[in-house]
Amino acid sequence: MNVNVKEKRIAIFVSGEGTNMLNIIKYFEDRTGISIPLVFCSNANAKALDHVREYNIDAYILNKEDLYNSDKIINELQDKDIDLIILAGFMWMIPDNLITAFPDQMINIHPALLPQYGGKGMYGKKVHEAVIENKESETGMTIHYVNENYDEGKIIFQAKLPILDSDTPESIAAKVKELEFEHYPKVIEDLLLNLN
């Protein structure tokens, strides 16, 4: 075994509750060779930040000037030698300069089977309401690369679940979250193991 294999480093971008972020942090807590040195958060009051503090991970509170009109975030990510950027419920658009600086190194999770039920304004409960309204027989979650269009990058992984007559937006949200928790960390791990 090559003992000089470089540690893989993840940065997570988050906006709200951060339950996926916490699940990812816990998954990698005991794994050697993979670390999470940095979380970017678009909301100074986000619940996610409580978890970040608990795990002693550096938190960077984003502002739009830094993200959209400077290279500060790119520099921060490069200084910390980040290999993979994980969006986990991040609600701001990612600027082109960041996508260009990290080609095929930024992924997102979406609570539906893209390309359906994605795009601007499609998040949280709205997605599940639309799925029920359209009498879909199944829904699920999608993990995909991030490109310059909302929810349109190349799909990496999807998991499905059937919609029952008894389902509500809330029950679907809970089941989709379970799928997200089960699969997002594993997909991240696979991608990291395949990076040079």
Span near ligand GAR by CB under 6 A; candidates 18-26, 56-64, 93-101, 186-194:
18-26
Q: Which of 51, 82, 123, 163 binds ligand GAR (CB under 6 A)?
A: 123
CB of 156 to ligand GAR, least distance (A): 14
Q: Which residues are annotated as catalytic?
A: 110
Residues in 159-178 at the binding interface with ligand GAR, rule: CB under 6 A: 177
Distances (CA, A) of 89 to 7, 81, 99, 104, 194: 25, 23, 17, 19, 24
Going by C-alpha positions, the residue among 170, 183, 6 that lies closest to residue 86 is 183
Whole-angstrom distance, CA of residue 150 vs CA of residue 68: 16
d(CA 159, CA 183) in angstroms, rounded, equals 8
Contact call for residue 88 and ligand GAR (CB under 6 A): yes
Alpha-carbon gap, residue 190 to 165, rounded angstroms: 35
User: With respect to ligand GAR, which residue has the nearer C-beta, 72 or 119?
Assistant: 119
Q: Which of residues 138-157 bind ligand GAR (CB under 6 A)?
A: 151
12 Cα distance to chain centroid: 7
- Site stretch for ligand GAR (CB under 6 A), options 11-19, 30-38, 55-63, 77-85: 11-19
State which of residues 38, 89, 139, 140 lies at the interface with ligand GAR (CB under 6 A).
Answer: 89
Does 18 interact with ligand GAR (rule: CB under 6 A)?
yes
Q: Which residue stretch of 14-22, 49-57, 60-68, 72-80 sits at the interface with ligand GAR (rule: CB under 6 A)?
A: 14-22
**Binding-site size, ligand GAR (CB under 6 A):** 15
What are the backbone angles phi and psi of residue 174, rounded to the nearest 5°?
-65, -40
CB of 21 to ligand GAR, least distance (A): 6
Q: Does 111 bind ligand GAR (CB under 6 A)?
A: yes
Binding site for ligand GAR (CB under 6 A): 16-21, 88-89, 109-111, 123, 151, 177, 180
